[in-house]
Structure 1
């Protein structure tokens, strides 16, 4: 059986038609995915790790450089042997190695929002813990019992710096530097002001600041939802281009012009142009964060010691 471009297109069209029919029937009978939280199978977790590059999944099998290189070499060798097109095999190796970057269109916005939400929850709990006669340092120590996971290590480091004898203002500024967010600077500014004047009303001020953080989180989530639209378009365009490349790689005479020196140059130009367009599309969905006012670059005396004399 000879594999031709027409046969591949026909097979792809048939699969698309069957998939569309299945979705139409599912929509007609009112089927919807179950809202019950279930544990993903090992195969599903691996497929998700392949398509979505989750920064929290550091032990993902696809994140292993050796596994990715082995898969890329195997796929490239298969394309070369099956199609007889060496350049197609090399391009396949490059595509498989860069597949997580090609399909992962999510930025760091969601992770930053999750951290800010954890800060808001921590500030709200601080407002409940802090009472008359309890110092701010003791409040921070007591908050370790219920601090949200997203900022647990940052708060633990803050508490450890306080116990180690750091100047309180420097410890709070280092906490802000670690989270690197303009809204966290507002939280730290409030804590620094309390350290300097030790006035009353901190619990109320923390509660009001938590409300402001909550509004900021809602606004950022709306912006992130709008940013997700071009990211989704980017992912589908990438999948479509990869499918077309996969079909043409096995089309025989169609790719023969790319087996010459000029064809290699043209193919390299197309590949570089594709990557540049991907970068351009991602920058369209990128929004510069609000500038911080407690950044270490804006503070003088950054090279001085941050500890008090014993």
Structure 2
């Protein structure tokens, strides 16, 4: 009987960890592998490199002190997932900053084209002064052009690298200009940049409206963790969770709580916008 209860506790605990991982990855896991590989990645910080050793070490310490495997697993999941749950505003602001970088690069490209440069030459020129958020993507586009890729194929690969509807809008204008090779591209790009700037302004207004539910979600999370910390200091409060059945109950409650937090996080993050330039299938 104890072995069965222990197995159930372990399975439910793994479910809680998987819920954390699901929230961590967001909707990325639902995308096709080729599209997922092109999604922009945020810069890795010191915490990103050390989060797994730190979280596993913290979980091992709690397990060894409390002799509760569920407590150790929850500590590991908490150290891993709490920064993700509390960083929704940072994720949203990073997405807006990326779209703003697309608008800034488009204006620079328009300015270079006004001086009489060709499309390929203008792209190579802007690579040196492109915004930091787009430097790798614009650099890859320049490298493809230098490698004698057909311009339409290079631009579509660039759109896949950006993986954003605003980037599709810019690339669509560049594709039309690459085929027709007529004057007026600079003015078209300036108009496109204006449209992207309006998109940025709209996204900022939406994020301002989402600030209140995000604050509520953070408050609920921190209050719940505070109650849990106070309860941990009271030995009699946690005594019922010390036996195998109590571990099962603790794992079930924790998994439900984690699921609610992830649901709240999803509600405060904008849904991915659909692209209108379909990703190109890679040749095998």
| 1:40 aligned partner | none
Alignment of 1:1-310 (within 5 A): 55-60=42-47, 63-78=50-65, 80=66, 88=71, 91-106=74-89, 108-131=91-114, 133-296=116-279, 302-303=281-282
Do the aligned partners of residues 215 and 279 (structure 1) sit closer, same or farther apart at CA in structure 2, a change above 3 Å counting?
same
Q: 1:286 to 1:75 in 2, by over 3 A?
A: same
Which whole-Å CA distance do the structure 1 matches of 2:110 and 2:61 have between them? 57
C-alpha contact 1:76 1:91 (8 A) present in aligned 2: no
Is the helix fraction higher in 1 or 2? Answer: 2
Larger Rg: 1
Gaps of 5+ in 1: 1-53, 306-310
1:116 and 1:90 map into 2 onto residues whose CA distance is 38
Distance 2:75 2:171 in 1: 50
Tell me, yes or no, if the aligned pair for 1:117 and 1:214 is still in contact at 8 Å: yes
Task: Please report the TM-score for the alignment, with normalisation by the length of structure 1.
Answer: 0.71
**Displaced runs of 4+ in structure 1, greater than 6 A?**
none
Compared CA separation, residues 136 and 92, structure 1 to 2 (3 A): closer
User: Which one is further off, 112-121 or 188-197?
Assistant: 112-121
**Higher relative contact order, chain-length normalized (CA < 8 Å, sep 6+):** 2
- Kindly state the Cα deviation for residue 55 of structure 1 after the two structures are TM-superposed: 4.2
Q: 1:75 Cα deviation (Å)? A: 4.4
Matched positions, count: 244
Question: Alpha-carbon deviations, 1:27-52, whole Å to 9, x = none?
Answer: xxxxxxxxxxxxxxxxxxxxxxxxxx
Query: RMSD across aligned C-alpha pairs, in angstroms?
Result: 2.5
Deviations along 1:280-309, whole A, 9 cap, x unmatched? Answer: 11222233233211121xx5xx3459xxxx
Q: Which moved more, 1:89-98 or 1:113-122?
A: 89-98
Partner Cα separation in structure 1 for residue 79 and residue 47 of structure 2: 16
Shift of 1:133: 4.2
Q: Could you list the runs of 5+ residues in structure 2 that have no partner in the other structure?
A: 1-40
The range that moved more, 180-189 or 279-288, is 279-288
Asked if structure 2 preserves the Cα contact closer than 8 Å seen for 1:105 and 1:231, the reply is yes
**3-state SS of the aligned residue for 1:292?**
coil
